[in-house]
Amino acid sequence: MGEGRKFLLIKDKRGEDIFPNVIFIVINILFFSMLMLFVFKASTGAMVYEQAYSKQIALLIDYSKPKTDIKIDFSKAIAVAKDNKKTSDLVKIDDVNKEVIVTLSSQGGYAFKYFSDYNVETEMVDNFLVIRVKEKGEVKNE
Amino acid sequence: MNKRGGEKLLSVWWFFVLTVVGVGIVVSVLMFYSAEEDTRSLESEILYNKIVDCVVDNGVLIQGISNKEFDLTKTCNLNEKVINEEKLFYIKINILDENGKSLREPIVGGSGGFPTQCEIQKPDENGKTTGAKHYAKCFERTINILYGDGKNGKLGILTASNNLGRKIGATENV
């Protein structure tokens, strides 16, 4: 008889089979671990950060005056994007529709409109996102 | 198979409990994290500040605002399309003399339905407001200004925002 087969026949002090109890406990542990993993993934997932960063950037653009440079710590977004295997084009400014689009995964992103009529450029410098707010019509990378 | 262990392992009732707990937690978490962070009140206040900064210079109303041809969006660097076509914002500027008489017809831009929504959301005599979460969020202030040759006047500005972001699908072209 193999070792595995022997294990199925192990009995506790009262002479009851241990195997079904072990299976029962393992299934429960697996189930609750999966739930915990899901909650953790959801709370640190791209969806939450995409919305937060796109709104933050759009409000900062609207709050700014032309010829303003804003530097945002983007390290958390970069870490989330890396977890989702995305390394480039994390932030886009749609100058036609006046939208800030933040994409931290390959499953889409989040877009938020701003109302100011400025030329806006973004650039990643290390772990920081630099937003340059310029007058409309001002030459890019001036 | 042991009777008690077998009961635990195969119990339909236990699987039902696990399913209910699991589905409950998953639905709650998804609802919580997919909820919109509401920045509309903040946005309408930013819009108000931007307009005040633009039309008032050191407490004096800028020249040209009383002209009929005055273009608010161009003067204040506001995007014409976002304000007037997409109906996400509303602006109303009232210029009054010191007796509260209008010096010109109000300067209005954006969605015409928002003033009603702002009115509905105003607190009643008990300080209670309606919880209309899909209505635009409003910001209204009246400030003292000088106009013309140093005459006293008032500037009433109402701004509103119903700018909610949108999720973009993986296949959507951005």
A89 in B contact zone (CB under 8 Å):
no
| Chain A CB contacts of B21 below 8 Å | 35
pLDDT at A137: 75
> Within 13 Å, how many C-alpha atoms sit on residue B15's CB side?
5
Position A22 in a domain: yes
Residues A84 and A25 in one domain: no
pTM of the model: 0.80
Per-residue pLDDT of chain A (142 residues; tens, 9 = 90+): 556 566 666 676 777 777 777 888 898 899 999 999 988 878 767 888 999 999 999 999 999 999 999 999 999 999 999 988 888 889 999 999 999 999 998 888 999 999 999 999 999 998 999 999 998 876 555 4
Q: What is the residue range of A18's domain?
A: 3-43
- Same-domain status, A24 and A91: no
Specify whether A78 is located in the same domain as A102: yes
pLDDT band, very low/low/confident/very high, at B152 (cuts 50, 70, 90):
very high
Q: How far is CA B1 from the centre of its chain?
A: 64
In a domain, A36, yes or no: yes
Same-domain check for residues A39 and A99: no
The predicted structure's pLDDT at residue B42: 95
- Please report the pLDDT score of residue A2 as a whole number: 58
Are the C-beta atoms of B81 and B102 separated by less than 8 Å?
no
The pLDDT, as a whole number, for residue B30 is: 86
Q: Is B148 left (phi over 0), alpha (psi -120 to 50) or beta?
A: left
- pLDDT bucket at B173, cuts 50 / 70 / 90: low
Query: What type of residue sits at position B105?
Result: E
Alpha carbon distance A81, B152 (integer Å): 55
Is residue A142, in this structure, part of any structural domain at all?
no
* The pLDDT of residue B81: 92
Looking at residue A141, its pLDDT comes to 54
Q: What is the CA radius of gyration of chain B?
A: 26
Rounded Cα–Cα distance for residues B107 and B116 (Å):
17
The chain B residue lying nearest A17, using CA atoms, is B2
> Do A60 and A116 fall into the same domain?
yes
Are the beta carbons of A115 and A62 closer than 8 angstroms?
yes
Same domain, A59 and A124: yes
Check CB contact under 8 Å for A21 and B8. yes
Q: Is the pLDDT of residue B1 over 50?
A: no
Specify whether the CB–CB gap between B91 and B107 falls below 8 A: yes
Residue in B closest to A96 by C-alpha: B81
Domain presence at residue A62: yes
Instruction: Please give the pLDDT value at position B170.
Output: 75
Q: What's the mean per-residue pLDDT of chain B?
A: 87
Domain boundaries, chain B: 3-34, 40-161
Looking at the domain assignment, is residue A17 inside a domain? yes
Least confident among A115-119, B119-123, B152-156: B119-123
pLDDT in tens, B20-72: 999 999 999 888 887 778 999 999 999 999 999 999 999 999 988 888 889 99
Count of structural domains, chain A: 2
Query: For residues A109 and A131, what is the distance between their CA atoms, to the nearest angstrom?
Result: 19
Question: Which residue in A has a C-alpha nearest to residue B166's C-alpha?
Answer: A111
Using the 8-state DSSP alphabet, how is residue B45 labeled? H
Using the Cβ of A117 and the Cβ atoms of chain B, whether some distance falls under 8 Å is answered with yes
pLDDT at A142: 47
pLDDT of residue A3: 60
pLDDT of residue A42: 80
